[in-house]
Amino acid sequence: MELSKEKKLWMLERMLQIRRFEEQVYDCFLKNKIPGFAHLYIGEEAVAVGACANLREDDFITSTHRGHGHLLAKGADPDRAMAEIFGRRTGYCLGRGGTMHIADFSLGILGANGIVGGGLPISVGAGWSAKYRGTDQVTVCFFGDGASNQGAFHESVNLASVWNLPVIFVCENNQFGISVHQSRHQKIKDVAVRAKAYDIPGVIVDGMDVLAVYEACREAVERARQGGGPTIVECKTYRFMGHHVGDPGTVYRDKEEVEAWKEKCPIKCFADKLIAEGVMTAAEFEALDKRVTEQMLAAVKFAEESPWPEPEEAMEGLYV
């Protein structure tokens, strides 16, 4: 399906927002401004954006420990997301969740998750809820190749299949679980083949190509909305950085391999394509990049200037 110019530019801008946001997070981590650590999404932007470009505001996503990209792709405000990562009162979870637990139910963002595979059962609950309530909302569940070995993956896909739920399981196959290559943690090469075991469609796409991800997810989302049940969409991708901000990511990967994947940068490739097609000029791309970079610097400023939560609030908002 041919996309409008506006939609293509939206995709480019969202991917750029994620990249520049993550670069700021990295920079702030190095400057010791952020508590704990963070898992960056740099290199994988096309997956979150290609998938979320199919969603309505009232659709749901479940996310992972590497969740900033999912959040921004679903429409989160960079200021509030950054403030949450900084642990500030103005953050999405009042500064209590931090990088791995950001949620905003009003945008259908059911939460990042520090438990690998933790989003999978939640997505099944959201899918079941939509079906029970008789709405046509869908849920996109992001998870990694490592997570596909969890029991929760198999139980979730099985239930989504047998209950015919509107869930799209989007596997971000970046080929590593921390430092362990996929070939050392599972014998299959394609996570999507596991769809066969649950008698649902499984497709494989180039996760560096936002249009390919968009198209595969479009079909899956349409099918789910019309009552056709779940799909596994496996996106072959790569993280350009280490597993988290403290990992240089070089010990267990060849430099050549990393460089070869960087050549496939989803943002550069898509921007080049749009420029070649005449959708935008190189100067317009530069201006967009400048605007987005300034937006992310402003998000850092917002976070830094925001207050910390008060100690007296520590027991508020808890199930006790």
Q: Partners of 231 in the beta sheet? A: 168
Position among 97, 127, 144, 309 found at the interface with ligand TPP (CB under 6 A): 144
Should residue 176 be labelled a site residue for ligand TPP when binding is judged by CB under 6 A? yes
The region of 53-61, 84-92, 140-148, 302-310 touching ligand TPP under the rule CB under 6 A is: 140-148
Torsions phi, psi of 196, nearest 5? -60, -35
Tokens describing residue 128: 């079941």
Choosing from 147, 157, 170, 296, the residue that interacts with ligand TPP (CB under 6 A) is 147
3-class SS shares of the chain: helix, strand, coil, % to 5: 50, 10, 40
Distance CA 79, CA 311 (A): 23
State the nearest-atom distance from the C-beta of 318 to ligand TPP, in Å.
22
Return d(Cα 78, Cα 91) in angstroms, integer.
10
294's tokens:
């300034």
- The whole-angstrom distance between residue 162's C-alpha and the CA centroid of its chain comes to 26
Instruction: Confirm or reject binding of residue 146 to ligand TPP (CB under 6 A).
Output: yes
CB of 176 to ligand TPP, least distance (A): 5
Q: Are 144 and 197 in contact (CB under 8 A)?
A: no
Q: Is 89 exposed, middle or buried (0-12, 13-18, 19+ CB in 10 A)?
A: middle
| 8 A C-beta contact, residue 83 and residue 303 | yes
CB of 143 to ligand TPP, least distance (A): 6
Nearer to ligand TPP, 127 or 146 (CB): 146
Window of 76-84, 170-178, 299-307, 308-316 that interacts with ligand TPP by CB under 6 A: 170-178
Distance, in Å, from the CA atom of 31 to the CA atom of 51, rounded to the nearest integer, reads 33
- Tokens 């997956």, located at residue: 47
Binding residue (CB under 6 A) for ligand TPP from 42, 81, 102, 116: 116
User: Should residue 66 be labelled a site residue for ligand TPP when binding is judged by CB under 6 A?
Assistant: yes
Q: Does 115 bind ligand TPP (CB under 6 A)?
A: yes
Q: Which stretch binds ligand TPP (CB under 6 A): 1-9, 85-93, 119-127, 144-152?
A: 144-152
Applying CB under 6 A, the span of 3-11, 20-28, 173-181, 226-234 interacting with ligand TPP comes to 173-181
Instruction: List the x/- string, 236-275, binding to ligand TPP by CB under 6 A.
Output: -------x--------------------------------
38 binds ligand TPP (CB under 6 A): no
Instruction: Return the residue nearest ligand TPP (CB atom).
Output: 144
Among 106, 152, 161, which Cα is nearest to 128's?
A: 161
Q: Of the ranges 74-82, 110-118, 199-207, 282-290, which one interacts with ligand TPP (CB under 6 A)?
A: 110-118
Q: And the tokens for 209?
A: 């190509």
Give the 3-state secondary structure of residue 112.
coil
Burial class (CB in 10 A: 0-12, 13-18, 19+), 264: middle
Q: Which residues are near ligand TPP by CB under 6 A?
A: 65-66, 114-116, 144-147, 172, 174, 176-178, 243
